[in-house]
Structure 1
Amino acid sequence: MTMVSVKSNLYIVRASALYDLIVTAGFITPWTAVLIINGLAALSGALALSRPVPLLDLTGMLLANLLGSVVVVWSLWRLMHPSHRVGLYDALARVLFALWQLYAVAHGASFLLLGFTFFEVGFAIAQMLPLKNLHRKSTTALAAEGGR
């Protein structure tokens, strides 16, 4: 497995934040979320997917707007303050998002979700790789200090 440098890890944390910002910014308001959901529904129809993207009721729209707002704020934080620790927390969130997306698809949600799941898993793995290497280095350093 290729080791990722500390500098590369910060780049990955920022890249994942930028991806999230682009993908979720439109969900902040009901007006823009409707446009995105209609676009996804049209894409689903154009691809002749057997599981269409449904329109949201008021509660679903509220949850989409809340999620969009939280993810945008989290994205801005990661862009402004990237760190290895922040990347680890983001990786954990991505694993949870991917699990719930897979659960939703398994229970009838549109297969379009799997495109988002691909990025969730990819960024989660990319953000965890150097942290494993950093943990190994710090354990080795602690062992060396203990031997003095």
Structure 2
Amino acid sequence: MKGIIFALLGGACITLQGVANNRISQDIGTWQAATITQLTGFILAALVLLVVRDGSWQGFKQVKPLYWFGGALASVIIYSEVMAIQYVGVTLTVSALLIAQLCVTFLIDLRGWFGVVKQKMTMPQFIGIVMMIGGVIILKL
């Protein structure tokens, strides 16, 4: 149950962040919005780290350098989301983002990329993705 609650919280925050970034972007620019978002996110994460102090830095050297740049993807995410909201609105943007996320996670699970245990994908899962894509097409119409 905790996993579902965290997923719902994360999804809500992604949407709220996209709308806030769009407003910031309209006032000062898209890359400025991305910079502010990354900076405030870093500050909050650093403060939480100082308070919670769970985990350690000892395993840092064991992390593959490729994974160190995962946070840099946030700049692309923010820019893309802001531009999409400006062109197609919040609802269609979030719908398309969810489909893109599902399709990529589907491939990651199917192929076992990034050290993830391979998962078999079943016909209901394929049908679910197709239905979501159909739903976005209906939203667009």
Fold match, TM over 0.5? no
Q: Which has the higher helix share?
A: 2
Q: TM-score range by the shorter chain?
A: 0.3 to 0.5
Of the two structures, which has the highest relative contact order with CA contacts closer than 8 Å and spacing of 6 or more? 1
TM-score, L = length of structure 1: 0.34
TM-score, L = length of structure 2: 0.35
